[in-house]
């Protein structure tokens, strides 16, 4: 009886993930000491869903509780009679706010200064004064889409963390790019023009470290962007949205 429910909820959680994101599996975040009610809810949800609950917090609406697990949120009542999966909007504001999205942005935020930028290569546009980190797989179709959006950005430094999680040859292509004389050019040729770097060159690469870094920060798909204020953006997005997030990050 529980197994079909667990499967249904797992599929439902997967269904609300960003559409323009090539995905691979996920792990865990920090949690404060739970109250007795929160601990009871966590135990009940874990039995129903078959996945580890990382935190339970009282939501600021409808008397519900927010259950954080696997990098996502579902909602339940105090007695765990109902489980709600999906976005929640504040319709009272002039522009409806996605409360779940705002909360996830805080829960999944990354301290930009802690990123090991030596494990990435740089693509600099204009002054390069604005910065973002970009986790990408060379076989990711959504990454190729977002690369076209990057073309219209100005005054930004893109730190490219090669994150080969999708295909058997993703790692080989990533290593070939890293070992190329001009990494930025080799990457651009591959992602924009479909021209693979010549195989044969060997060197030490940060690929394994990047995979561990992605696990640490729960990066489960590509592309994933991280901005200077800690905001992360999973999935492909238009240039105007990326520009807005860069502007917001510069106000940090």
Q: How confident is the model at residue 205 (pLDDT cuts 50, 70, 90)?
A: very high
Contact between 168 and 194 (Cβ < 8 Å): no
Mean pLDDT for the stretch of residues 111-137: 96
Residues 129-181 pLDDT 10s: 999 999 999 999 999 999 999 999 999 999 999 999 999 899 999 999 999 99
In this structure, which long-range contacts are made by residues 64-68, counting pairs with CB atoms below 8 Å and at least 24 apart in sequence? 65/37, 65/38, 65/41, 66/103, 67/41, 67/42, 68/29, 68/31, 68/107
Query: According to the model, what pLDDT value does residue 57 have?
Result: 94
For 160, the token pair is 């490219």
> What's the gap between Cα 218 and its chain centre?
7
Residues 224-250 pLDDT 10s: 999 999 999 989 999 999 999 999 998
Query: According to the model, what pLDDT value does residue 26 have?
Result: 43
3-state secondary structure the chain: CHHHHHHHHHHHHHHCCCCCCEECCCCCCCCCCCCHHHHHHHHHHHHHHCCCCCEEEECCCCCCEEEEECCEEEEECCCCCCEECCCCEECCCCCCEEHHHHHHHHHCCCCHHHCCHHHCEEEEECCCCEEEEEEECCCCHHHHHHHHHHCCCCCEEEEEEECCCCCCCHHHHHHHHHCCCCHHHHHHHHHHHCCCCCCCCCCCCCHHHHHHHHHHCCCCEECEEEECCCCEEECCCCHHHHHHHHHHHCCC
Query: According to the model, what pLDDT value does residue 28 have?
Result: 43
Residues 48-106 pLDDT 10s: 999 999 999 999 999 999 999 988 899 999 999 999 999 999 998 888 999 998 898 88
pLDDT over threshold 70, residue 193 = yes
Residues 9-25 pLDDT 10s: 554 555 555 556 665 54
């Amino acid at each position: 009886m529980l197994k079909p429910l667990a499967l249904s909820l797992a599929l439902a959680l997967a269904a609300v993930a960003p559409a323009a994101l090539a995905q691979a599996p996920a792990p865990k975040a920090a949690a404060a000491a739970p109250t007795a009610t929160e601990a009871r809810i966590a135990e009940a949800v874990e039995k129903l869903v078959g996945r580890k609950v990382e935190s339970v917090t009282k939501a600021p609406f409808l008397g519900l509780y927010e259950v954080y697990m696997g990098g996502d949120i579902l909602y339940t009542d105090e007695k765990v009679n109902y489980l709600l999966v999906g976005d929640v909007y504040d319709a009272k504001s002039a522009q409806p706010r996605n409360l779940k999205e705002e909360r996830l942005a805080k829960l999944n935020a990354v301290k930009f200064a802690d990123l090991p930028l030596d494990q990435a290569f740089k693509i600099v546009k204009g002054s390069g004064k604005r910065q973002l980190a970009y986790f990408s797989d060379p076989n990711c179709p959504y990454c190729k889409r977002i690369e076209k959006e990057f073309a219209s950005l100005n005054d930004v430094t893109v730190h490219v963390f090669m994150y080969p999680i999708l295909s058997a040859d993703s790692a080989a292509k990533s290593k070939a790019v890293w070992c190329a004389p001009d990494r930025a050019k080799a990457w651009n040729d591959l992602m924009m023009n479909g021209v693979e770097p010549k195989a044969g060159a060997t060197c030490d690469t940060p690929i394994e470290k990047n995979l561990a870094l992605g696990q640490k920060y729960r990066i489960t798909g590509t592309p994933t962007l991280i901005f200077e204020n800690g905001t992360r953006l999973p999935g492909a997005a238009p240039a105007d949205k990326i520009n807005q997030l860069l502007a917001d990050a510069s106000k940090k």
